[in-house]
Structure formats: structure tokens, C-alpha cells
Structure 1
């Protein structure tokens, strides 16, 4: 049993906390809001592990250091609002670097694929981080700063990069989360961004958590990035059809939002402006190569049938709505 500290309690942070606690570890989850209202600050897992929530300002290096002391790993699972990445990420990233340096905890960064930028339809970890888009440049700089500290011997770090995630715990904004499942089960039209027919890598949240935990404990994983082992690429349409078939719902009706319309909305809506900046991820093939991570981390992705079954069950438990509209009997 070991102690692990996670900054951030969004879908990735929550899934990782459960994964580590189920493995028998004591997990401290740090966030601006602390425990959820009405929920206990500490819960015990059947394995003997536990999850304990603390209210901490992620930009406060001293507070992070105090809470991270004694931990074998410090995980960066923070995710500011899209339109605030350029302002909100740098102070958090700097505080995490300081805390990891002072405590000797392995800094494990939950990353994404934005840093590669457009024009990389089949991404490998060795590809340059050449994004010209703001969010991609922010993430690329975060990794460059952490790697420079690692190479200088000041700390140990690794970054685990996932694609668009899905699975139990995915929130409303996830492309294959409630944003897809709620209208699909209600028989409404689905409105993905740009295209529904480009091959795309999707990352299952429990697989993301398993990769983060494994990278933290494996010295061979430190000092470089890894792609989360993910199932075979699927288009948005293929994923929607998988869910519809499993739910007994009609074939999905899909009408993508034109990129020009998204850009037009971005003139008045900061969030839509940022979405337009990374719309290439659905307008072009967006596929990762996880060959190296499967070999070194020793992990295999969850299969699509299991992903669909478990995700659909979790969605129905959280959003009970009865029989899908037009369901087959």
C-alpha cells in the first residue's frame, strides 16, 4: 500500500482515484472545492485502500507540497475551461513542478493530443509537438518544462496522453458521453462537430486511469510520454451505431454542425471559438499509435463491446429515462 496524490477531481481524477483505492492505496484528492456537499471527506474501499478529499488551491506550491509529502506520485488531472487554458494552466503547472521537486513524488501528467496539432492523422509519441493553436501550445510547453526538470535531475516525470474519452463518469461535454447518449436514446438528431465519418481514437476512462497508475510505478516509463492503450479507431457514426444497437434504439440520425457555423458562433462565444480551433480532430483522421505503450506499460485496451455495455449501464443509472424512443422489442 502506498500514498498517491491527485490534483483535480474531474472524470479522469475521479476514475484514477477509484482505480488506485481499489488496488489498496491511500489516495488524497486535491481540488478547489474539496469534498462534494453532503459527501464524506474520506471513503474506504473494500480492498483496504481509501480516498480522502482536501480543499487546496492548485496554484499554491506550498499547499501542494504540504499535501503531497509522503506520496509516491503526484498526478496532474486538472482541466481548466477551454477558453482559460492560456491563463489558468501556467501557474498550476508551475506549482506542480515545485511540489514534485520538493517531495520527490513522481509527477504524472494526464495529457492529451492537442500538442501535435493539425496534420498528424496517425500520431506517435515521437512526433514533434508542433501545434499552432493556443491550447496545443500550452500543453506542449507544460510537457517541455516538466521534461527539462526531469533531464536536469530535479524530478521524475512522465506524461500519459489520451484521446477524447468515454465511459462511466464522462461529463456532459464529452463527445461520446451524455452529449451523444442523451439525444441518441431520446431519438433526437446527433450534432457532432465538422464530420461524423473520420477515423478517430477514443480513450476509455478506466484504461486512462490504468495507464496513469502504471506509468507512475514503472521507472522505464519516466522521462517520456505515452499514449493510453485504446481500442481500434472508430468514426463518430460507428460509435453512435454501437450504442444504438446495444440500447435497442433506432439507427442514429446524425447531422454534423458545419465548421463554418462553429467558427461563426466563436465570434461571440469564447468556448465555441476554442472548439473551432481544434475541430480538425473530427474534420480529419485523428488516430494514435499505442504500440510502444502497450509493450512498455504492459497494458491492453478494453474492447468495444465491454466499453459500450458498461458506459450505457452507467449512463442509464445516472440518467434514468425508461425505454429508448422507438426501441426495438
Structure 2
């Protein structure tokens, strides 16, 4: 499908990351002009593997002037960016969304697109999330994500925005994820699976489906509210074992499963760093939380949905995790 408005132009902040790159690629396939901000455009272009490359612009998403200049002439700004290496995340995230807001205003009211998270909600007490669900997370990460959304809501209608909330990402092109960094080892055949799930009901978002959803929504500006907050249901692991069984099916044999060492993370959390970050999200692996996508379905007719076994197989292939036996088992 090609976008009827071939002059439509989007700026991607975070195009070298999984979700930003996937949204940019989906828009390019639909006929959009896509610009992407990067500190090193040559390196970003060399690493691009998502089809036709965007127009790379030298700049830093932490610099307001750079973002404003890059956003000139755009109707959409995809804010899918984080500080380099996630360093000083808690101090830099809000100024960065401020830069995107300034750029959107300077561009005459470009719509800001934000991939949302479940961290805005209190796990254990919130079982279903829709656009009206109170955001009451107590974690540092959740409080910052909630403030980001508040700033976008406050800016509307002068600056329209779209937040599409999803579960944990997996899929080709995304390596910073629970699937790629914990459950399996990129570049190595699957010999064991590390399972972070403590209970049932975990939500997963297959990246190509999510990016396609973003692209379809972006092409319907007249149907979106000035401040639109939607939920992407994705794959709900109702038993807590469906993702494991999908990996086993892709590999073609029974694979041993180990539990993620949450106990060790809790012991190390007081020292900060990765363990502290991980412990903050532990409740979301313990308590089920369903994303209500009824508003999304009314807008699109249906939510793009690749069967779980197919999605996992494509993800493992892209990560280089299927040895010859696993690949042949799928072709048989």
C-alpha cells in the first residue's frame, strides 16, 4: 500500500534503534519521505538494514536547535530515542521530549509519535489498560514515562500527538530486548532458554506488526484525536509458557529452561546499575496486564498480527540463533 500523499515527510528520532528504525522503514515502504537524525550519519547509513535508507541528518536529539532544524517541513516526528547507552536516562529523557515539542511547534504543529510502555501503571492493581486507566506507577521509570505523556497531553491541540502502548518488543532488528538479551543469545544456536516470566499473562509486541500499526495510524490524522492514546494488544502469553514453546517449535527440539535470577538482581539492586533497572520492572513479569485495543481496532479495522510461531521463527533467524538443524526442521 502506498501513501496517497507522497509529499508527506516524517522525522525519526532514534532511527538506529529497533522501534524507530522499524517505523521509519514502514513509512518508507508506504511512500513517505523519511528524515532521520543521527550523531554520525555515515555510520547510521552503513548500519541501516531496513530497505531504502532515510535521509540522514547530522545532529543530536539532546540539542533543541538540531531537532528543530531537522523537523522543518515535517508533519510527523517519531520520538523513539533514548540517551546514548541509556546513561543518565532519568535526567535526560524529559528534556529530550521537550526538544521534540519545540520542534513540533516550530514545524507548525507536527504530530509527535511516542511508543508507550506499561510502566506507567501499577502492576498488581492494574489488570486492563485503556486510554482512561489512571497512571499511578510508583517506580522511577514509571513516573518519568507518565510525565512524558502528561507533557504531550498538555501541548495538545497546538501540538497533536499519538501514543501507542505495547508490551515487550521482540522481532528482527531489535537486540535491546528481554527476548534477545535474556531469553536467547544472539549469534548462537539456542541451547537453553532463560525465562523471565514469574506468572501468566505477559504481553509481547512483534516489531513488524507494531511498526505497521504505527504507519497505518499515522496515515489517518483526520481520524485521530489531537491527543490520542492507544493500546497494541500484541501477543498475550496467557500461560507464561507460550513464548517458550514457540522458541522450541522454531528450533525443532526440546530446549531446557532456566528461570531468570530475580533473587540475584534484588540482592544487587541497592548498588544501582542494571540490577536496579531490572528490579523496577519485575512486577510486570509477575502480574498480568492486558492492553485493551478496542479503540485501535475501530480506527484500523484490525490489529496487524503475525502468528506467534512465525514471529518467533523470524526473530530467531534474524538473531542468528537457528543452527542448521533448527532451520531444516522448519523446512521439513
- In structure 2, the residue matched to 1:211 is 213
Alpha-carbon offset, residue 87 of structure 1: 0.7
TM-score, normalised with respect to structure 1:
0.86
SS of residue matched to 1:267? helix
- In structure 1, the residue matched to 2:297 is 294
- In structure 2, the residue matched to 1:115 is 120
- Pick aligned residue for 1:39 from 37, 42, 46: 46
1:51 aligns with 2:54: yes
Q: 179-188 vs 110-119, which deviates more?
A: 179-188
Matches of 2:289 and 2:194, distance apart in 1: 19
Alpha-carbon offset, residue 213 of structure 1: 2.1
Matches of 1:108 and 1:187, distance apart in 2: 35
Matches of 1:294 and 1:190, distance apart in 2: 34
- Pick aligned residue for 1:190 from 188, 193, 212: 193
Q: Structure 1 residues 266, 298: CA separation in 2 closer, same or farther (over 3 Å shift)?
A: same
- Pick aligned residue for 2:27 from 7, 12, 20: 20
Alpha-carbon offset, residue 310 of structure 1: 2.2
Deviation string 1:33-89 (CA, Å, 9 cap, x unpaired) is 3342672899973xxxx5122231112222111111111201101134556331120
- In structure 2, the residue matched to 1:264 is 267
SS of residue matched to 2:120? helix
Q: Structure 1 residues 324, 269: CA separation in 2 closer, same or farther (over 3 Å shift)?
A: farther
Q: 125-134 vs 113-122, which deviates more?
A: 113-122
1:233 aligns with 2:237: yes
**Which ranges of structure 2 fall in alignment gaps of 5 or more residues?**
1-5
Please say if residues 13 and 36 of structure 2, whose CA atoms lie closer than 8 Å, have aligned partners that are also in contact: yes
Please say if residues 184 and 190 of structure 2, whose CA atoms lie closer than 8 Å, have aligned partners that are also in contact: no
Please say if residues 170 and 179 of structure 2, whose CA atoms lie closer than 8 Å, have aligned partners that are also in contact: yes
Deviation string 1:238-269 (CA, Å, 9 cap, x unpaired) is 2121121122132x322223433211122234
- In structure 1, the residue matched to 2:182 is 179
Please say if residues 5 and 27 of structure 1, whose CA atoms lie closer than 8 Å, have aligned partners that are also in contact: yes
Q: Structure 1 residues 201, 295: CA separation in 2 closer, same or farther (over 3 Å shift)?
A: same
SS of residue matched to 2:183? helix
**Which ranges of structure 1 fall in alignment gaps of 5 or more residues?**
none
SS of residue matched to 1:279? helix
TM-score, normalised with respect to structure 2:
0.85
Q: How do residues 1-329 of structure 1 correspond to structure 2 at under 5 angstroms? A: 1=6, 2-9=8-15, 10-36=17-43, 39=46, 45=52, 51-80=54-83, 84-103=88-107, 104-118=109-123, 119-150=125-156, 153-171=157-175, 173-177=176-180, 179-182=182-185, 186=189, 188-193=191-196, 195=198, 197-217=199-219, 218-222=221-225, 223-250=227-254, 252-302=255-305, 303-316=307-320, 321-323=323-325
Please say if residues 170 and 178 of structure 1, whose CA atoms lie closer than 8 Å, have aligned partners that are also in contact: no
